[in-house]
Chain A
């Protein structure tokens, strides 16, 4: 397949990358840009662990082609802390014990961040719905929901 040069804006930095038209965003993030904080859990859009933010909205980067991301602003977990200062959602996840194996954590945190920007004062039910696209096998979601509610209270 013919390769093409595209520009991606990831965590505020511009990158020139050479991709094939069928290459997924997660593949380019992980393989070309070495941003391995974005995980691959199923590679078919079911588990949500590959979630990144595209123009502020959560997308499954395994179902997004890299070429579709041109001209959009991509945010991954690596870009969330600014100048060593953790994002309030990251802090809340840490303090509330919402992280066990950590494999779903980047996706959970990004999804929560985007959600809280849209809905700063959610009910617990709304939080549960907001993260229902990301599978966690360790925590039973209890402390994740607790952390998001706490982060909402802080903002």
Chain B
């Protein structure tokens, strides 16, 4: 291919006009003829046996069209993995958290549906409950699931090298405990689902999601219907951040309601329900022990984490492993012992999050700074001495094919003025670094790859059919940009059909950071395939070899003599007449070790490639109030190649809000036992425009040998290393380590007081 015409350019996203004019329709905006309103009855108890559900009074209420309980379900349990199938999405035997789905109503209007919920009588036998993951593992704690003794849901043990010997040989060893409370995705769009069922048995679902294929497969299992009858449609999604991935009770309930009522049913959650009854983010207690050589090289790590998983598994094995994997994807770890436990409690279900594991990764990155100080090494230098590079193999066996980690660290340090600032700023001001590597995709079996097709109209316009999913990050625009570049078309010449489980081919979805590396790779493959077909036909027509030809602005031309050209539509028409219509086909399956398994076999190539980044945060700490303000963030990220730099930068900027100011300083759920106290946006504090620092993004391009045009990922740029950068900057500012996230003013003041006492 000739030089790029589109990729690498700051292009306007294809979805932005619809979104700027209010024409983009999200699930709650959709209506269907004769649509009913759905509402869910939720458990008021954290742990109780359901003795009886009497719906007879509710059924007699005028305007009620269907009521479902667990008895209407097939009794199939859901779990992302065969060994984690622990959740009936409409429970029959027990409720395990406050807010769990017990029954649901479809009625002519919302008032009637709410009224009907009040008429459903549920008899509970309240059981003792447990809310703390450490207590939950003690002898005598209430057992939440029959199959899980001591409430241990997942245990991931990994041991590499001779850890005990390495600790004995270490020059310096340090142990710390870090903890974090629960937090939330708090996407701006509340959870919603619209379901419709026809007389031929076709079930259609619209819901904000990260993977229509994953939802469809789960519903097909749960409803015991063939996959061809379950159609999860494309709809605009108002943010995901990991919280729209696996199946939720809402979709299942809406499906049951529409199948029973034989009318479309829309279920729109309140903000409170979106907080409590979809997914939350794990709290955790992390014990870290690190041993180093005198020169700062990491010799041994022992990491034990206990995560509060809530009542069910969700993506448990993944959530238990990912923070550890992010650590091993960053630094050379010759000897490491990891024990990850995910524990059941009587709290809402926890899932994967863009900023998952703040105590884990924040802790490791802060401990690195503590050790660096002890050894008299600059924190940036400490990281550079341990950073992975291209060609290295990670602790559990993944080979790195492109790596710009050191460059990212060096460029971020340079741009931020690190040398002149670290340790030299006035009291109350500080600067700190965080860094991490990131898996780009991971083994998901048949769902780990993507395929795409391109068909052409006789006027030379094209339609790209791809499974790609966009939750806001710009994935749709990205695949069109890539295909248009390859085909020498304008982006507006290509229509995109995507994210529909019936129409579009399999794709991993907006999940595991794989959309650029995998989905765009497949779209690129389809574009290259159709390009070759077009050039083949055009070579006869222009009397030139395929190699001599190129495509640009809808024309095929001879590279050496551009005046010899023809409109692309001619080749497309000729192909139709000759019964060889141009149909591009592409696919990409990342080169991972498919035998790798999260719990039973965490060895082998985990991802096709890895991205790398470093951020530097500057803070001001008010020692009177304990308030921490992030003033500047400089972030450098090796995304391989920036297909649309404007969209790539937007990922860092968003991460500084969610992972940085939000997850590090503000966001947490508060509880009274199993009752969430701040399930609303007045009390669950998220960053506002006035809370945000100045942000300087630096794109590092390593041109990955596998990625489309060399691209990897940018979605997790900064989101998992902001915690450590801010934690370290606070130490630089006021000399205290805060080991509990979020770092709220009360914790800062308590630490300052403690420090004064020591003096």
Asked whether B601 is an interface residue with its Cβ less than 8 Å from the other chain, the reply is no
Q: Which of B647-692 contact A (CB under 8 A)?
A: 647, 649-650, 652-658, 680-682, 686-690, 692
Q: Is the CB of B22 within 8 A of A44?
A: no
CB within 8 A of B654: which of A86, A109, A138?
A138
Q: Is the CB of B474 within 8 A of A100?
A: yes
What does the 1/0 interface line of B591-619 toward A look like (CB < 8 Å)? 00000000000000000000000000000
Asked whether A150 is an interface residue with its Cβ less than 8 Å from the other chain, the reply is no
Q: Which of A91-109 contact B (CB under 8 A)?
A: 93-97, 99-106, 109
Task: Determine the distance from Cα of A16 to Cα of B238 in the docked complex, in whole angstroms.
Answer: 32
Q: Is the CB of A137 within 8 A of B187?
A: yes
Task: Determine the distance from Cα of A78 to Cα of B28 in the docked complex, in whole angstroms.
Answer: 17
Task: Determine the distance from Cα of A127 to Cα of B688 in the docked complex, in whole angstroms.
Answer: 12
Given contacts A128-B690, A138-B239, A138-B654, contact A103 B20 (CB under 8 A): no
Asked whether B473 is an interface residue with its Cβ less than 8 Å from the other chain, the reply is yes
Asked whether B567 is an interface residue with its Cβ less than 8 Å from the other chain, the reply is no
CB within 8 A of B271: which of A34, A44, A128?
A44
CB within 8 A of B21: which of A86, A136, A137?
A86
Q: Is the CB of A77 within 8 A of B22?
A: yes
Task: Determine the distance from Cα of A94 to Cα of B14 in the docked complex, in whole angstroms.
Answer: 10
Given contacts A36-B29, A44-B681, A128-B689, contact A97 B188 (CB under 8 A): no
B-side contacts of A69, CB under 8 Å: none
Q: Is the CB of B25 within 8 A of A105?
A: no
Cβ contacts A to B, 27 pairs, < 8 Å: A37-B22, A39-B189, A40-B28, A40-B190, A44-B682, A77-B20, A81-B21, A86-B21, A90-B20, A94-B16, A95-B12, A99-B20, A100-B473, A100-B474, A100-B650, A101-B239, A102-B18, A102-B20, A103-B187, A105-B20, A129-B690, A132-B688, A136-B188, A137-B654, A138-B473, A140-B655, A140-B658
Q: Is the CB of A102 within 8 A of B236?
A: yes
Asked whether B237 is an interface residue with its Cβ less than 8 Å from the other chain, the reply is yes
Q: Is the CB of B188 within 8 A of A135?
A: yes
Task: Determine the distance from Cα of A101 to Cα of B209 in the docked complex, in whole angstroms.
Answer: 12
Task: Determine the distance from Cα of A44 to Cα of B658 in the docked complex, in whole angstroms.
Answer: 22
CB within 8 A of A99: which of B19, B657, B658, B686?
B19
Q: Is the CB of B271 within 8 A of A41?
A: yes
A-side contacts of B28, CB under 8 Å: 36, 39-40
A142: nearest residue on chain B (CB-CB)?
A: B653
Q: How many residues from B make CB contacts under 8 Å with A?
A: 55
Asked whether A42 is an interface residue with its Cβ less than 8 Å from the other chain, the reply is yes
Interface centre among A42, A44, A47 (most CB of B within 10 A): A42
Asked whether B10 is an interface residue with its Cβ less than 8 Å from the other chain, the reply is yes
Given contacts A94-B16, A128-B690, contact A140 B22 (CB under 8 A): no
CB distance from A107 to the nearest CB of B (A): 9
Asked whether A24 is an interface residue with its Cβ less than 8 Å from the other chain, the reply is no
Task: Determine the distance from Cα of A97 to Cα of B190 in the docked complex, in whole angstroms.
Answer: 23
At the interface, is chain A mostly helix, strand, loop or mixed? loop
Q: Is the CB of B25 within 8 A of A132?
A: no
Q: Could you list 19 further interchain pairs (A-B, Cβ under 8 angstroms) beyond the known A102-B15, A140-B656, A141-B657?
A: A37-B22, A39-B26, A42-B682, A76-B22, A77-B20, A94-B20, A100-B472, A101-B187, A102-B18, A102-B236, A102-B472, A103-B238, A135-B681, A136-B689, A137-B186, A137-B241, A138-B473, A141-B688, A144-B689
CB distance from A150 to the nearest CB of B (A): 13
Asked whether B17 is an interface residue with its Cβ less than 8 Å from the other chain, the reply is yes
A-side contacts of B80, CB under 8 Å: none
Q: Which of B16-40 contact A (CB under 8 A)?
A: 16-26, 28-29, 31
Task: Determine the distance from Cα of A47 to Cα of B237 in the docked complex, in whole angstroms.
Answer: 17
CB distance from A110 to the nearest CB of B (A): 10
Q: Is the CB of A97 within 8 A of B21?
A: no
Q: How many residues from A make CB contacts under 8 Å with B?
A: 54
Asked whether B283 is an interface residue with its Cβ less than 8 Å from the other chain, the reply is no
Q: Is the CB of A97 within 8 A of B22?
A: no
Q: Which residues on A are within 8 Å of B, measured CB to CB?
A: 30, 34-47, 49, 76-78, 80-81, 86, 90, 93-97, 99-106, 109, 127-129, 131-133, 135-145
Q: Is the CB of A97 within 8 A of B20?
A: no
CB within 8 A of A36: which of B18, B22, B473, B688?
B22
What does the 1/0 interface line of B181-209 toward A look like (CB < 8 Å)? 00000111110000000000000000000
A89: nearest residue on chain B (CB-CB)?
A: B20
CB distance from B743 to the nearest CB of A (A): 19
Given contacts A99-B13, A100-B472, A137-B654, contact A93 B21 (CB under 8 A): no
| Contacts between chains A and B (CB distance < 8 A), count | 180
CB distance from A146 to the nearest CB of B (A): 10
Q: Is the CB of B17 within 8 A of A94?
A: yes
What does the 1/0 interface line of B211-240 toward A look like (CB < 8 Å)? 000000000000000000000000011110
Q: Is the CB of B26 within 8 A of A103?
A: yes
Interface centre among A77, A81, A142 (most CB of B within 10 A): A142
Asked whether B545 is an interface residue with its Cβ less than 8 Å from the other chain, the reply is no
Task: Determine the distance from Cα of A144 to Cα of B759 in the docked complex, in whole angstroms.
Answer: 46
CB within 8 A of B19: which of A105, A128, A131, A135?
A105
Task: Determine the distance from Cα of A105 to Cα of B236 in the docked complex, in whole angstroms.
Answer: 13
Task: Determine the distance from Cα of A135 to Cα of B189 in the docked complex, in whole angstroms.
Answer: 11
Given contacts A102-B19, A102-B238, contact A30 B29 (CB under 8 A): yes
CB distance from A137 to the nearest CB of B (A): 5
CB distance from B560 to the nearest CB of A (A): 37
A110: nearest residue on chain B (CB-CB)?
A: B22
CB distance from B581 to the nearest CB of A (A): 35
Interface centre among A95, A135, A141 (most CB of B within 10 A): A141
Task: Determine the distance from Cα of A34 to Cα of B28 in the docked complex, in whole angstroms.
Answer: 11
CB within 8 A of B692: which of A30, A45, A140?
A140
Q: Is the CB of A78 within 8 A of B22?
A: yes
Asked whether B398 is an interface residue with its Cβ less than 8 Å from the other chain, the reply is no
Q: Is the CB of B25 within 8 A of A101?
A: no
A-side contacts of B653, CB under 8 Å: 139-143
Given contacts A137-B658, A138-B239, A144-B689, contact A101 B471 (CB under 8 A): yes
Q: Is the CB of A142 within 8 A of B695?
A: yes
CB within 8 A of A97: which of B26, B29, B239, B647?
B647
A-side contacts of B689, CB under 8 Å: 127-129, 131-132, 136, 141, 144-145
Q: Which of B239-293 contact A (CB under 8 A)?
A: 239, 241, 270-271
Q: Is the CB of B654 within 8 A of A139?
A: yes
Q: Is the CB of B188 within 8 A of A47?
A: yes
Q: Is the CB of B26 within 8 A of A135?
A: no
CB distance from B316 to the nearest CB of A (A): 25
Q: Is the CB of A97 within 8 A of B10?
A: yes
Q: Is the CB of B686 within 8 A of A137?
A: yes
CB distance from B367 to the nearest CB of A (A): 27
A49: nearest residue on chain B (CB-CB)?
A: B188
A45: nearest residue on chain B (CB-CB)?
A: B682
Q: Is the CB of B681 within 8 A of A41?
A: yes
Cβ-closest 6 pairs across A and B: A37-B22, A101-B472, A102-B19, A103-B238, A77-B22, A36-B29
Asked whether B646 is an interface residue with its Cβ less than 8 Å from the other chain, the reply is yes
Q: Is the CB of B22 within 8 A of A139?
A: no
A-side contacts of B681, CB under 8 Å: 41-42, 44, 46-47, 135
Task: Determine the distance from Cα of A15 to Cα of B658 in the docked complex, in whole angstroms.
Answer: 41
Q: Is the CB of B189 within 8 A of A41?
A: yes
B-side contacts of A46, CB under 8 Å: 680-682
Interface centre among B646, B650, B689, B692 (most CB of A within 10 A): B689
CB distance from A133 to the nearest CB of B (A): 8
Q: Which of B332-383 contact A (CB under 8 A)?
A: none
Q: Is the CB of A42 within 8 A of B238?
A: no
B192: nearest residue on chain A (CB-CB)?
A: A40
A-side contacts of B25, CB under 8 Å: 36
CB within 8 A of A137: which of B19, B647, B657?
B657
A-side contacts of B186, CB under 8 Å: 137
B-side contacts of A49, CB under 8 Å: 188
Given contacts A35-B22, A103-B238, A138-B239, contact A143 B650 (CB under 8 A): yes
Q: Is the CB of A106 within 8 A of B22?
A: yes
